[in-house]
């Protein structure tokens, strides 16, 4: 089996795993995060559709405010910093969890969530200010696309915050069991992926959108 597979180029020198199931399925600690990785990637496909919509409609302002009149780069810089640090601290929390340190796992997860909340608060403040100035999602196609794209990311961050809170409670109540650690790993993948999407948003929407 193995030599046959090697003959048709299905194996790597250092890996016997041909994907043909000759040693049975992988353990749950591999399969579960891999399945979640596929979900995260399809989530990125979803965002790519929203990005494409935004790029198409970015100049369709219908006489309303354009992107370079609306956005405040200082606020965006603070948002970006908060989310990046949050992503980093999430990684630190994973290290603490792997070492089985309950106190520091809880502390780092809490900081991860607080930084995420800072991000979300600034975003909601920005949305409220824009809507207050008459630049709500119903004003123009550009603003509809903006609120859909950035709001969808914000909704993901909100879901992530709820997940972080749930995770803190579960780690506290059940300890570092295998299935809890799997959920922690999925959470960290989700949180890092949100930061990757934010990199695209702050570049395309906020920086390119406010170029002179």
Partner 1 sequence: MTEDPSETRNVAPGQPHDSMLSESLSYVIGLALALLLTGVSFWVASTSVLWGPGVATGLVVLAIAQMGVHLVFFLHITSGPDNTNNVLALAFGVLIVFLVMVGTIWIMAHLAANMGPPPELTNLHMQH
- Using CB under 8 A as the criterion, which residues of the chain lie in contact with partner 1 when the complex forms? 12, 14-17, 19, 23-27, 29-30, 32-34, 36-38, 41-42, 44-45, 48-49, 51-53, 55-56, 59-63, 66, 73, 77, 80-81, 84-85, 87-88, 91-92, 95, 98-99, 185-186, 188-189, 192-193, 195-196, 199-200, 202-204, 207-208, 210-212
Q: Which is nearer to partner 1, 98 or 128 (CB)?
A: 98
* CB nearer to partner 1: pick between 17 and 128: 17
Residues 6+ apart with CB under 8 A from 191: 86, 87, 90, 112, 116, 160, 164
How far apart CA 178 and CA 33 sit, in angstroms, is 12
The nearer residue to partner 1, 146 or 202, going by C-beta atoms, is 202
CB 102 within 8 A of CB 172: yes
Nearer to partner 1, 52 or 102 (CB): 52
- For the CB of residue 129, give the shortest distance to partner 1 in the complex, in Å: 21
Backbone angles phi, psi at 100, to 5 degrees: 75, 25
- Kindly provide the b/e burial profile for residues 81-98, where b requires at least 16 CB atoms within 10 angstroms of the residue's own CB: ebbebbbbbbebbbebbe
């Amino acid at each position: 089996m193995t030599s046959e597979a090697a003959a048709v180029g299905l194996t790597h020198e250092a890996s016997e795993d041909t994907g043909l199931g000759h040693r049975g399925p992988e353990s749950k600690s591999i399969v579960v995060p891999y399945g979640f990785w596929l979900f995260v990637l399809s989530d990125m496909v979803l965002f790519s559709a929203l990005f494409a919509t935004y790029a198409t409609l970015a100049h369709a302002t219908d006489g309303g405010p354009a992107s370079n009149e609306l956005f405040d780069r200082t606020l965006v810089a603070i948002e970006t910093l908060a989310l990046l640090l949050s992503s980093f601290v999430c990684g630190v929390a994973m290290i603490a969890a792997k070492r089985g340190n309950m106190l520091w796992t809880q502390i780092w997860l809490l900081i991860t969530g607080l930084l995420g909340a800072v991000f979300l608060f600034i975003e909601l403040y920005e949305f409220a200010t824009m809507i207050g100035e008459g630049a709500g999602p119903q004003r123009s196609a550009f603003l509809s696309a903006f609120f859909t794209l950035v709001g969808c990311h914000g909704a993901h961050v909100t879901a992530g915050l709820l997940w972080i809170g749930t995770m803190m409670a579960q780690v506290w109540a059940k300890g570092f069991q295998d299935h809890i650690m799997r959920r922690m790993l999925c959470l960290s993948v989700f949180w890092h992926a949100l930061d990757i999407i934010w990199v695209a948003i702050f570049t395309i929407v906020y920086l390119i959108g406010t170029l002179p």
